[in-house]
Amino acid sequence: MSNYLLACIAVFIFFYSISLLYITIFYHRCLAHRALVLHPVFEKFLWKTSCWVTGIEPKAWVCMHRLHHRHSDTQKDPHSPAHSGFFKLFISQSLYYEEILKKIRNYDPETLEEIADIDYPLHPLHQKEGFVWLTPYFLHGAIALSIALSTGLWAISLCYYFGLTAHPFQGWAVNSFGHAIGYRNFALPDQSTNNSFVAYAVMGEGFQNNHHRYPDSPKFSVKPYEFDIGYMFCLILRTIKLADFDTPKLGQEKLDTHKEMS
């Protein structure tokens, strides 16, 4: 494998991971479920930079995610392959996200109630209607283009851009595979599954069945052969005093089912 190809892969993985860490640690485990507490200065930094990195508004993401947990795989679930369709879910999750953003802007009481504990205002990039929220995508596109034009490293520039803006694909993989294809450790009323491939590609998020069983846990893996990469980062953050949480003891009770689904 050439050095250039290796550099492309490294750049893609690096920026893909940065964006994903914002989502899985900050948006999901910290804000949506309060499974860990972040150092206030660090949390503020993450909030201020969140939209610039991921392009996604934290409050709207949290609201959509909490609705997903509340109504998993029913008609009210914002994204379920059970009613959106496996591939159409990619579009429907984005449309629902847009709808929630509008409801927050318009002070819809039910929507605001769902996120009443989130102290932050809407991120400035998302406070007004229009296309201002696309700014990070254009900014990163401009950065990638400048690097490519000035150095000729087009493939590396593309890896930087698509690594950083991969969230819609990461979300689709979790929301579709994680509720349709995989094994189940717990017999829950929803259709959540553990999909190991997605779990490793999206830092533990693919262990949806485990996560729906223990939504308040910072750790999504339960069995000895399951490994939650996101939780590893939680442990690192706790070691350097940027996060705090109690070490969870999951799966102590008898695992009730282990059903393969297709």
Size of the site for Zn ion (CB under 5 A): 1
Residue 242 beta carbon to Zn ion: minimum distance, rounded to whole angstroms: 21
Q: How many other CB atoms are there within 10 angstroms of residue 111's CB atom? A: 21
Residue 208 beta carbon to Zn ion: minimum distance, rounded to whole angstroms: 4
CB 57 within 8 A of CB 133: yes
- Identify which of residues 84 and 208 has a Cβ nearer to Zn ion in the complex: 208
Say whether residue 194 binds Zn ion (CB under 5 A): no
Backbone angles phi, psi at 36, to 5 degrees: -150, 155
Q: Is 243 helix (H, G, I), strand (E, B) or coil?
A: strand
Rounded-to-integer distance, Cα 211 and Cα 217, Å: 8
Residue 14 beta carbon to Zn ion: minimum distance, rounded to whole angstroms: 25
Rounded-to-integer distance, Cα 47 and Cα 45, Å: 5
Binding part of the chain for Zn ion, among 75-83, 110-118, 132-140, 200-208 by CB under 5 A, reads: 200-208
Please report, as residue ranges, which positions from 69 to 128 form the binding site for Zn ion (by CB under 5 A). none
Q: Is 12 helix (H, G, I), strand (E, B) or coil?
A: helix
**Tokens linked to 14:** 């690096």
Residue 250 beta carbon to Zn ion: minimum distance, rounded to whole angstroms: 15
Asked whether the CA dihedral 63, 210, 30, 161 is positive or negative, the reply is: negative
CB 122 within 8 A of CB 104: yes
For the chain, how big is the Rg over CA atoms in Å?
19
Across 119-216, where does the E strand assignment appear? 182-184
Binding part of the chain for Zn ion, among 12-20, 46-54, 160-168, 207-215 by CB under 5 A, reads: 207-215
Question: Which positions from 169 to 188 touch Zn ion by CB under 5 A, shown as an x/- string?
Answer: --------------------
- Identify which of residues 126 and 179 has a Cβ nearer to Zn ion in the complex: 179
Say whether residue 208 binds Zn ion (CB under 5 A): yes
Which residue has its beta carbon closest to Zn ion? 208
If 0-12 CB within 10 Å is exposed, 13-18 middle and 19+ buried, where does residue 228 land?
A: buried
- Identify which of residues 69 and 105 has a Cβ nearer to Zn ion in the complex: 69
Residue 62 beta carbon to Zn ion: minimum distance, rounded to whole angstroms: 10
Rounded-to-integer distance, Cα 2 and Cα 8, Å: 10
Residue 237 beta carbon to Zn ion: minimum distance, rounded to whole angstroms: 18
Question: Which positions from 32 to 71 touch Zn ion by CB under 5 A, shown as an x/- string?
Answer: ----------------------------------------
Binding part of the chain for Zn ion, among 43-51, 53-61, 85-93, 204-212 by CB under 5 A, reads: 204-212
Site residues (CB under 5 A) for Zn ion? 208
